[in-house]
Structure 1
Amino acid sequence: MSIMNNALSGALASQMALAATSQNLANLQTKGYTRQMALLTAVGPQTGNNRSAGNGVAVNDLLRISDDYKNQQMWRANSGVGRHTQTQPYLTQLERVMGDDAASLSAGVDKFFEAMNAVAGVDPTSTPLRQQVLTAAGTMAQRFNNLNNVFNAQMQSLRGQRNAIVSTANVTIDNIAALNRQIVIAAATGTNHSSLTDARDQAIDALAAQLDLEVSDQPDGSRSVSLKTGQALVIGGVPGQLKISGGSVQTFSLAFAGSTFDLDPVAMGGQLGGLGAYERDIIQPLQQGVSDMAEQIADKVNTTLAAGFKMDGTAGGPMFVFTPGGSASMLTIVAGYQTADLAFSSDGTPGDSKNLQALIDIKNQPINVTSLGMVLIGDADTQLTGKLAVDSQQNRSALKTSQTIRDQAVDDWKSTSGVNQDEEAINLVEFQNMYQANMKVMSVANALFDATLAMMN
């Protein structure tokens, strides 16, 4: 009986639609859940039967409401956030250290030259004043060493952080490949794989925070994932593996299907690219700039002292020892150096201070500093700190912009794929009414059938 069949198909269809609605409402607060919808299609009459209105309704599929363009926008935005988020804590730390008067190089250099000015203004032979010069020299050297230790600690932290990111990324890459395999099997057997696809999308989103990605859909339901530079990370069910090697200088590569590709640590993008850019463009030039300052100040002071005479009339010798290569003791005072060793005299006369004046004039001499060029010794640290502040502010602005873009992308995704409580509530009522109406039709059809049987009896 066509009325009964139509009503039965409508009741079953409304039940499936209600099941999809209930699943959506159950996952109202589930992060990354993509809403589903029953695709209802009218079933037409059989061929050649012009008197049939149709054969009810069919649920052709359970649709997963997703927009690939919005997915891509969300993943790209996450890469930008990851890139700038990782570097800001390092920049902020350096700003605080280099801008602190109690630790800044500028204050240490100023106090060293102020101590020599104090000697020149009173008595070049005064042991207490000479001791102040020696103390100020040691303090200045320690400030260089302390700042250099901060650089070394950050470099060590960078290396450890990148090792951790690579390990996490490899786990995520394996997970995406495994989900691809499960989705292909589910699609081939006609099983609903919406939850598997949601899990894969969330894994891709997490990976996008660590690396710049390109994602493309394949006909079998799998997704291929590659770096922006073109190297494949996942194709179907086959995962690649990121590798990191080296100690103080880390190198990156990608192994995929028996081939190995070298990777640029900056071009990888995301968190890894941000850390690579920070190392290459900020901390390495800054550390080298501080090293340049220490080396050239030590060289100028030692050279000037060598041209003078000590308290006992003998030729002066070096006061500073500079050790290159990022050593923890980059700048130190010569072991056993005494106040009497300060060669302030230019002719051997104890009261002469011409060589002391030459030492004081060093502060106004230019030095060549990496990333700055030729600058006065007294201005070098100020300019390095100022450049760091500019870099930090630019990163903050870029992070704020990236976060805004990410938030907008997430909102756009939610507008299409997210569960809307009001919309689902309306669907709940409508499909409930549909079910009840079809049950009423079945009741009417049953009454008509009973009436027909009664007439025949």
Structure 2
Amino acid sequence: MSISYNALSGALAAQAALNTVSQNIANSQTKGYTRQGVLLQTLVNGGGAKSPGNGVQVGSLLRFSDSYKSQQMWRAASDLGQHTQTQPYLTQMEKVMSDDKSSLSYGIDNFFKALNAAGVDPTSTPLRQQVITAADSMSQQFNSIYNVTANQLISVQQQRSAILPGLNQSLVSIAALNQQIISTGANGANTSPLIDQREQLIDSVASQVAVEVINNPDGTASVSLKSGQPLVVSNLSAKLGFDTSSGVQQLNLSFANTTFKLDDTKVGGQLGGLAFYQENTLKPLQKSIAEIAEQMSGKINTQLAAGLTSPGVPGTPLLVFNPTSATGLLQVTAGFTSSDLAFSSDGTPGDSGNLQQLVAIKGQPITLTTLGNVLLGDADTQLVGKLGIDSAQNQAQMTTATTVRQQSEDDWKSTSAVNTDEEAINLVEFQNMYQANMKVIAVANTLFDATLKMFG
């Protein structure tokens, strides 16, 4: 009976291998599917020294996976998510700030050109009116660009909030899959499809926040932030949310009745990239624009107050700075007319002593939080230059991250993806194995029948 038993075990093993091959081929285009295989083992020889063996068995189902390659792919997803999310904002801001006809520099230059032109005839009403018109135009450009920064700030905050529901749901699903994997594995069933689902969810989470993943002996996966706070442990999951009670978005992580305050500029992924842009580029830029408007309007109004419109009549403020308004950051004083421009230093009609002092303001230094001491006329140019550098660096990092992600995916596929040519070869090999074993069974039956006839 050993020849029949050996052949039967071989046919059953071949059939199991064929089932695995068919599963691989069926899922060759399934995203995230990890190819499987069978581990064939010879059965222990228990029939004595002259017995060749007791056939073959399927020792286990194999899942072709490399933890290191998966980790590399998830790290690349975090880097790519971080730079991809911020680039549209940087590009928009760079275009707005550097536009030839709508930049702050264009408005400031035209205003001081109008002051220079008024020096030809300080008493000319059209030339004086041109100064007010240029001041109004400059104010509108400040307001327009400042409003873009305010709208971007709202958009970034909304986008960050929109990420959290999906992120939290993914964490819940990973924890649930951990529990399913334990239960399924305990029953001796194949857990590979569940692990595939879990790894796809981890990849999604990794694009949103940078993660560390540890595969545990019981089949579960523990997921945490780079800074160590837990996201998933066994069947427990964390929940991330924003606390706005202080007036700003504070990212918190709640896990097992413990709340952690997070620095969201360092969490990586899409969430970290948006926060980093907000805190390190957008808010400082917005503050610098307000500082230019405040210090320039202060200098101009102070200088006008030092001049006279007529003997004994000091000048009044031309510009109003309002830091609480996104659309009215800088405005021309309501009711201000050309006769209110205090160009004279002694009240004499035609005197331009104070006008020359106004013109000189463009070359005076101002102090910006992001740049330090700069000349008023150069401030916007330097802001645009810094923004351009930030954008170029992010684009370069995004290009690198895209390449690294693609390479990591290719590395993962080299181990885990289905190769249909390879599976076609396996299909033929295991088919031949099955057919050969069935022939052995046929031969064994023939021998058995012959033996019975000998004693018949």
Query: TM-score scaled by structure 2?
Result: 0.98
Match of 1:280 in 2: 279
Match of 1:389 in 2: 388
Over residues 47-99 of structure 1, what are the superposed CA-to-partner deviations in whole Å (9 max), with x where a residue is unaligned? x6222211111011111111111111111111111111111000000011011
The code of the aligned residue for 2:209 comes to: L
Match of 2:102 in 1: 103
Match of 1:289 in 2: 288
Match of 2:369 in 1: 370
Match of 1:250 in 2: 249
Q: Is the CA contact 1:313–1:349 (under 8 Å) kept in the aligned structure 2?
A: no
d(CA) in 2 for partners of 1:343, 1:91: 41
Match of 2:153 in 1: 155
The code of the aligned residue for 1:223 comes to: A
Q: 1:105 Cα shift? A: 0.3
Match of 2:258 in 1: 259
The code of the aligned residue for 1:169 comes to: L
d(CA) in 2 for partners of 1:105, 1:91: 17
| Correspondence 1:89-100 to 2 at 5 A | 89-100=88-99
Over residues 99-122 of structure 1, what are the superposed CA-to-partner deviations in whole Å (9 max), with x where a residue is unaligned? 11121000000000001111112x
Match of 1:27 in 2: 27
Over residues 402-424 of structure 1, what are the superposed CA-to-partner deviations in whole Å (9 max), with x where a residue is unaligned? 11111111111100001111111
Deviates more, 1:199-208 or 1:325-334: 325-334
Match of 2:36 in 1: 36
d(CA) in 1 for partners of 2:325, 2:60: 64
Q: 1:326 Cα shift? A: 5.7
Q: Is the CA contact 1:313–1:350 (under 8 Å) kept in the aligned structure 2?
A: no
Indicate whether 1:49 and 2:39 are aligned: no
The code of the aligned residue for 2:25 comes to: L
| Correspondence 1:115-264 to 2 at 5 A | 115-121=114-120, 123-246=121-244, 249-264=248-263
Q: Does the C-alpha gap of structure 1 residues 125 and 311 become closer, same or farther in structure 2, counting only changes over 3 Å?
A: farther
Stretches of 4+ aligned residues off by more than 4 angstroms: none
Q: Is the CA contact 2:212–2:224 (under 8 Å) kept in the aligned structure 1?
A: yes
Match of 1:8 in 2: 8
Match of 2:182, SS state, is helix
Match of 1:59 in 2: 58
The code of the aligned residue for 1:271 comes to: Q
Q: What are the ranges of 5 or more consecutive residues in structure 2 without an aligned counterpart? A: none
Match of 1:33, SS state, is coil
Match of 1:114, SS state, is helix
d(CA) in 2 for partners of 1:399, 1:429: 45
Match of 2:127, SS state, is helix
Match of 2:430 in 1: 431
d(CA) in 1 for partners of 2:90, 2:183: 48
d(CA) in 2 for partners of 1:352, 1:226: 72
Match of 2:119, SS state, is helix
Q: 1:328 Cα shift? A: 2.4
Q: Is the CA contact 1:145–1:328 (under 8 Å) kept in the aligned structure 2?
A: yes
Deviates more, 1:399-408 or 1:231-240: 399-408
Q: 1:246 Cα shift? A: 1.3
Identity of aligned residues (%): 57
Match of 1:419 in 2: 418
The code of the aligned residue for 1:15 comes to: Q
Match of 2:61, SS state, is strand
Q: Is the CA contact 1:179–1:196 (under 8 Å) kept in the aligned structure 2?
A: yes
The code of the aligned residue for 1:304 comes to: Q
Q: 1:327 Cα shift? A: 3.1
Q: Is the CA contact 2:311–2:346 (under 8 Å) kept in the aligned structure 1?
A: no
d(CA) in 2 for partners of 1:364, 1:257: 60
The code of the aligned residue for 2:140 comes to: Q
d(CA) in 2 for partners of 1:308, 1:14: 101
Q: 1:243 Cα shift? A: 1.3
CA-atom RMSD in angstroms: 1.2
Q: Does the C-alpha gap of structure 1 residues 215 and 28 become closer, same or farther in structure 2, counting only changes over 3 Å?
A: same
The code of the aligned residue for 2:193 comes to: S
Over residues 333-367 of structure 1, what are the superposed CA-to-partner deviations in whole Å (9 max), with x where a residue is unaligned? 11111111111111111211111111111111111
Q: Is the CA contact 1:311–1:340 (under 8 Å) kept in the aligned structure 2?
A: no
| Correspondence 1:48-87 to 2 at 5 A | 49-87=48-86
d(CA) in 2 for partners of 1:249, 1:405: 35
d(CA) in 1 for partners of 2:325, 2:378: 22
d(CA) in 2 for partners of 1:219, 1:244: 34
d(CA) in 2 for partners of 1:380, 1:311: 34
d(CA) in 2 for partners of 1:42, 1:326: 80
